[in-house]
Chain A
Amino acid sequence: MDNRKPLINIGNVRKYAPVLLLPLWVILYYNLSWFSNELVLNILGMPAGKHFTEAMRFFIFEVPKVLLLLTLIIFIVGIIRTYFSPERTRKALEGKSLFTGNVMAASLGIVTPFCSCSAIPLFLGFIESGIPLGVTFSFLIAAPMINEVAIVLLFGLFGWKTALIYVVTGLIIAISAGWVIGKLHLEKWVEDWVYTVKTGQHPEDEKLSLHDRVNRGFEAVKEIVGKVWIYILIGIGVGAGVHGYVPEDFLAAFMGKSAWYSVPLSVLIGIPLYSNAAGIIPIVSALIEKGAALGTALAFMMSVIGLSLPEMIILRKVLKLPLIFTFIGVVGTGIILVGFLFNFIF
């Protein structure tokens, strides 16, 4: 990727860069398998079939593949996201009834730009404009759990079916957990000062040209890929080790379908564990290969990504402890049910 940098920095070329880079991307992407085989077997001269060779081949193929996919998708999503904003999402959600509001909030949670560091201002802004607590929660569950990094990794390492399953079940969890929290009427467990916050007049929306939007796409790539590449490297590194060294079916006994307790157990382990999608998904992909059941792996992944300790600590500023625990309980239960369902179906 380093060879692209000078291209991006030259002012005018930047405008046409997507058109110039796309063919290069396609050529690279579709020749990766050949390239990694060539490099490992012929150039490095490693003997085929050995554990270490297999691990190397896996690593040298998967890392550039995932990084290429990520770069392309983040760029496209970065452009799409300029058409959405939390302010517009809030406007769309105002006055919606509970169920419709939950469905819309969860869906908009996927496309609205969100960073967990903005969770508090977003929460305050939603509550202040009268959006129900349950609808706000649907957004707060979907936004971090279903993100483009997770979707790309699932697509790259598992295929489009698993990526789709993840998105759909994530949506269902966000919608139903938000709905349940809404029905429980837990407003009393929101910190009292939250209701006294007065938000000011929102500044005018920026007017963006297409060129600005393309630039935002590049900025998103720089920011997100710049942040997650190291997790991908580590994740795939560990995954490669598992791939090359751990025997087949090694995990079947404790993470396989027959061990029913593995689903709730992996959710419990996943909650305090904190990693982003980029670090955890490659490891999970290797676990499945070694006999872990899909539902169990999916549940583990969702609890690591969707329920994280740092986010709870941030939310503690606006939510009292009982609400935090209810939130973890409701979402955790949803994830466990999804895990059981998939172990049952597949």
Chain B
Amino acid sequence: MEIKILGTGCSNCRNLEKATREAVAELNIEATVVKEEDITKIMGYGIMRTPALVVDEKVLLYGRVPSVKEIKELLTKP
């Protein structure tokens, strides 16, 4: 699983990255978490609000920082 955090480096983006890493660790799944800070690439995902959570190139969530529990649910949803 390839997880991307989209954001240009604001505090919410860091919070989302932290929460996502926690969720991945708790689920104990095989996943890479990378941060995408290039704004032209971020725009390619069609969002106007950061941060965003992208899993395997699909935008699952944007514009807010969810709880670790919610991220775990999103990551395990088929």
Smallest distance from the beta carbon of B72 to chain A beta carbons, Å?
15
Q: Judge whether A309 is part of the interface by a CB distance below 8 angstroms.
A: no
Smallest distance from the beta carbon of A54 to chain B beta carbons, Å?
38
Chain B interface residue count, CB cutoff 8 Å, equals: 23
Q: Are B39 and A199 in contact (CB under 8 A)?
A: no
Partner of B48, one of A117, A125, A223: A125
A121-B44 CB under 8 A given contacts A86-B49, A113-B49, A203-B62: no
Q: Are A199 and B12 in contact (CB under 8 A)?
A: no
- Give how many A-B residue pairs fall within 8 Å (CB-CB): 67
Q: Are A113 and B43 in contact (CB under 8 A)?
A: no
Contacts of B45 in A (CB 8 A): 200, 203
Smallest distance from the beta carbon of B44 to chain A beta carbons, Å?
5
Q: Judge whether B18 is part of the interface by a CB distance below 8 angstroms.
A: no
Contacts of A122 in B (CB 8 A): 48-49
In the bound assembly, the distance between CA atoms of A182 and B64 in angstroms comes to 31
Name the CB-closest residue of B to A220: B64
Contacts of A219 in B (CB 8 A): 64
For A115-128 the 0/1 string (1 means CB < 8 A from B) is: 10110111011101
Q: Judge whether A201 is part of the interface by a CB distance below 8 angstroms.
A: yes
Contacts of A113 in B (CB 8 A): 49, 63
In the bound assembly, the distance between CA atoms of A197 and B45 in angstroms comes to 12
In the bound assembly, the distance between CA atoms of A201 and B10 in angstroms comes to 24
Listed in ascending order, the chain A residues whose CB lies under 8 Å from chain B are 85-87, 90, 113, 115, 117-118, 120-122, 124-126, 128, 193, 197-203, 216, 219, 223, 317
Listed in ascending order, the chain B residues whose CB lies under 8 Å from chain A are 7-8, 10-13, 39-40, 42-50, 58-59, 62-65
Pairs across A and B, CB under 8 Å, 7 listed: A115-B49, A117-B10, A117-B50, A122-B48, A200-B44, A200-B45, A203-B47
